[in-house]
Amino acid sequence: MEFRIDRTAFAEAVGRAVRALPARTPVPVLGGLLLEADAGRLAVTGFDFEAAVRVEADAEVAVPGRALVLGRRLLDVCRVLPDGPVSCALEASRFTVEADGTRFGLSTLPLAEYPALPAPPAPYGTVDGAAFATAVSQVAVAAGRDDTLPLLTGVQLRLDGGEMTLAASDRYRYAVRRLEWRPGAAADGVVDALLPARRLLDVARSLGRGGDVLIGWDPAGGGGLIGFEGGRTRTALRLLDGRLPTYRSLFDMAGAAVAEVECEGLAEAVRRVAVVAEANSPVRLDFSSDGSVMLRAGYGDDVAVQRLPATLTGADEMPVAFNPAYLLDALTAFESPRVRLELLGAGQRALLHAVPDGGAAEAAGEHRHLLMSVKQLV
């Protein structure tokens, strides 16, 4: 194997593929990146049984071949290489990287021990990459972080007709986002797939600037994989078992009071008053029909308050309190200038959604975020 490649393209391909590698693994070869040089291109693949990422880049290939190199070590090398062309070669069991007089020698891993890569799922439809990246980021904040409850660490992806729905919940909040997608000729019926939130977020971010994203799915089975392809990057994610509980009854807010407030201003006020809050202490919001909301955090002499303009209908006053981190996650996920809160009272559900102004990217109902308010008001 021998090839020559631009340093920026090489570093980008290695950087994207290395994100698929496990942080720790009892199987040493899974810490390696598979490099395949052939016919004017270099393909870099990372794989850990949960995800496979393949990135292609243009290269001048003198001798085709394959090599398995420790991924994070190769990424460290790419980061310190000088700009310009990079020459790489496989010399027996040693992989060399050379640029502008700087030369590195890296040991290789045994190719014979590398597991077979999964076949990419068949094309199923396409979605706008930027819209998909935004939607995934809006719901992934509500996914759980506790790996002992894998079901709650996922994002539920549902494809039904021309609509894609993404949803995530950690039991204390539930985010849902709808967007359009374009089913392909093979699309048939409804697809429900639970995907690891962290992995899906990485995929969406990496593909968000590359135009359309091709979604791959095999309705006949496909080995429990769903694929995403954009530009010269192709990723396959293995599904999580199970599915999230339905949210429709939770989002039924009959009898709720409705408040509207400027989204960025409320987020900034929450950040400000939460400075004096103890760990896990809530921020209280007192909405009033006089056209304002009073934020309060802290106890005793260590308190902070701020009043903001807000409207309230359906009640004369409505006091609620939230975990400030959860409330900020919800508020910063919205793109619209104003947000509407449907409130049932302290210790009960609160539903946030966008207030469209004609120029906002999200319409009412497309993005909704459910939070549980705190029973004990500050």
What's the pLDDT at 359? 43
pLDDT digits (tens, 9 = 90+) for 104-140: 999 999 999 999 998 889 999 999 999 999 999 999 9
Q: Is the pLDDT of residue 44 over 70?
A: yes
Q: What does the pLDDT average to over 16-43? A: 93
Residue with tokens 């870099």: 44
For residue 301, what pLDDT is reported? 85
Residues 6+ apart with CB under 8 A from 109: 28, 29, 31, 32, 68, 69, 70
pLDDT at 360 over 60: no
**pLDDT tens for each residue of 292-320:** 999 999 988 899 999 999 999 999 999 99
Encode pLDDT of 166-209 as tens digits. 999 999 999 999 999 999 998 888 999 999 999 999 999 999 88
Return the HEC string of 308-319: EEEEEECCCEEE
| pLDDT score of 153 more than 80 | yes
What pLDDT does residue 176 have?
97
pLDDT of amino acid 208: 85
pTM of the model: 0.91
pLDDT at residue 222 tops 70:
no
State the Cα–Cα distance between residues 133 and 52, nearest whole angstrom.
19
* Mean pLDDT score across all residues of the chain: 93
- The answer to whether residue 165 scores a pLDDT higher than 60 is yes
CATH class held by domain 2-113:
alpha beta
Could you give the percent of the chain with pLDDT greater than 70? 96
Our measurement of the distance from residue 304's CA atom to the centroid of its chain's CA atoms, rounded to an integer in Å, reads 33
Query: According to the model, what pLDDT value does residue 363 have?
Result: 58
CATH code matching the domain that covers 257-372, chosen among 3.90.1210.10, 3.40.190.10, 3.10.150.10, 3.30.56.10:
3.10.150.10
Q: What are the backbone dihedrals phi and psi of residue 322, each rounded to the nearest 5 degrees, phi first?
A: -135, 155
For CA atoms 151, 249, 226, 177, the dihedral sign is: negative
Residue 322, pLDDT score: 96
Where in the sequence of the chain do the CATH 3.10.150.10 domains occur?
2-113, 123-238, 257-372
CA 284 – CA 7 distance, rounded (Å): 52
Helix and strand tally (H, E) in the chain? 6, 26
CATH number of the 123-238 domain: 3.10.150.10
